[in-house]
Amino acid sequence: MSRSPRASGYFRTSYDQDLALVQTRLERTSLGVFIAALLAFPLIASPFQLDLACQVFLASIGALSLMLLTGYAGQISLGHAGLLAAGAFTVGILFRETNAPFWITLPAAAAVGGLLGIIFGLPSLRLRGLYLAVSTLALHFVVIYLGGEYEARRGFSTGIVVDPPKLGGVSITDARAWYFILLGAAAATLLVCLNLLRARTGRAWRALRTRETVAEALGIGVASYKLLAFVISSAVTAVAGALFAYYRGFVSVEAFSLFLTIQYLAMVIIGGMGSLLGALLGAIFVTLFPYIIEIGLLALPGAQRHASLLFAVNYAAFGLVMILFLMFEPLGLVGMWRRMQNYFLLWPFKHRRAGGSRG
């Protein structure tokens, strides 16, 4: 992800500096402020706000992994909810059957996810576009069917209860503790993605998405990099599902409907394809959107009468927003962000190339 610095005076004396994630003083300062704000948030937030933040973090992990697969490697997947379910059920089943601790269940979830990634990534070697989408849809139904069977056979027809994970003999139940755990997990995922993308893997994926034939001509092993995208994305997604299981303390197939897959796709589309920042923005937007609609609806006169409509309005508004984004802002939230950023970066000019700075 080599890019030229956004401010003057940063000359490079080694190629490592080309890859540095933070390059200018302004970037360093704003990153510091942002991290400080994230760390300080639990001190002032209400339990409800903390829960929202945790949901955003969980969604971010899932959205980042989908962004790798769809936004960078260009492989469409409709099996996202299935993979989340696979991770969650791995935790549920291992916990129920063997009482395994989290440091076994989480890697196990990643392994299951990775395995599913290989199996359902294989069609991608032959199929493209809509056909690939439909084949990944199979993954969703297989996992949900198996999960449902397990629930029914073992008599957990309402769902599997998972105890909070124990760390040094102490159960993690505190909302603040969960905030930091999920924040850490999301941050770690982001760093892994950033590192993948600024290395050979990321460049190979981008080449794949742009044109497979050319990528192959460039010496990129198309098959292996496609599978790698599926494996990494699925493993990360399964871990997100596992964390979800621990966070909620409950696993049930009902939580992993096809609508969840649509939501995650919405995150990467609304956020902005081909951008990790887009995945994060999309995760925030899609997670918070229903609550915003609810607040809006309740603010209307005679709110109580509309309460029953809430669900329907939510779905409708969600669909409408998706359509509007696809029509008017194909670059998504990240496109808006970049425009805003450019406005200030180019200040007081309107266009680039006012002198030395080249984008």
Give 346's DSSP letter. S
Residue 340 within binding range of another protein, rule CB under 8 A = no
Considering only 126, 300, 305, 347, the residue that binds another protein (CB under 8 A) is 347
Tell whether residue 153 is a contact of another protein (CB under 8 A): no
- Does position 168 interact with another protein (CB under 8 A)? The reply is no
List of residues 6+ apart from 293 with CB closer than 8 A: 310, 313, 314, 317
Is residue 328 involved in binding another protein (CB under 8 A)? no
Question: By rule CB under 8 A, what count of residues binds another protein?
Answer: 22
Structural contact between residues 71 and 279, judged by C-beta atoms closer than 8 angstroms: yes
Q: Are the C-beta atoms of residues 82 and 235 closer than 8 Å to each other?
A: no
> Which of 214, 303, 349, 359 touches another protein by CB under 8 A?
349
Q: Does 8 contact another protein by CB under 8 A?
A: yes
- Residue closer to another protein by CB (options 126, 350) is 350
Per CB under 8 A, 342 contacts another protein: no
119 contributes a contact to another protein by CB under 8 A: no
Contact between 173 and another protein per CB under 8 A: no
DSSP string, 12-72: -SSTHHHH-S--SHHHHHHHHHHHHHHHHHHHH--HHHHHHHHHHHHHHHHHHHHIIIIII
Interface residue with another protein, options 126, 153, 305, 350 (CB under 8 A): 350
Region of 11-19, 30-38, 78-86, 236-244 interacting with another protein (CB under 8 A): 11-19
Q: Does 200 bind another protein (CB under 8 A)?
A: no
State yes or no: residue 25 binds another protein (CB under 8 A).
no
Nearest of 259, 290, 232, 187 to residue 67 by alpha carbon? 232
Which of these segments, 43-51, 93-101, 286-294, 342-350, binds another protein (CB under 8 A)? Answer: 342-350
- Max CA pair span of the chain: 71
Stretch that binds another protein, among 54-62, 90-98, 324-332, 343-351 (CB under 8 A): 343-351
**C-alpha–C-alpha distance, residues 359 and 95, integer Å:** 52
CA angle 172, 176, 181 (to 5 degrees): 65
The pairing of strands 160-161 and 250-251 is antiparallel
CB closer to another protein out of 5 and 159: 5
Q: Is 250 helix (H, G, I), strand (E, B) or coil?
A: strand
Residue for token digits 């973090």? 57
Virtual torsion, Cα 265, 269, 275, 280, nearest 10 deg: -70
Main-chain phi, psi angles of 251, to 5 degrees? -125, 130
**Nearest approach, Cβ of residue 26 and another protein (Å):** 10
Residue closer to another protein by CB (options 18, 216) is 18
Nearer to another protein, 11 or 328 (CB): 11
If binding is defined by CB under 8 A, does position 33 make contact with another protein? no
Per CB under 8 A, residues contacting another protein are: 5, 7-15, 18, 346-351, 354-358
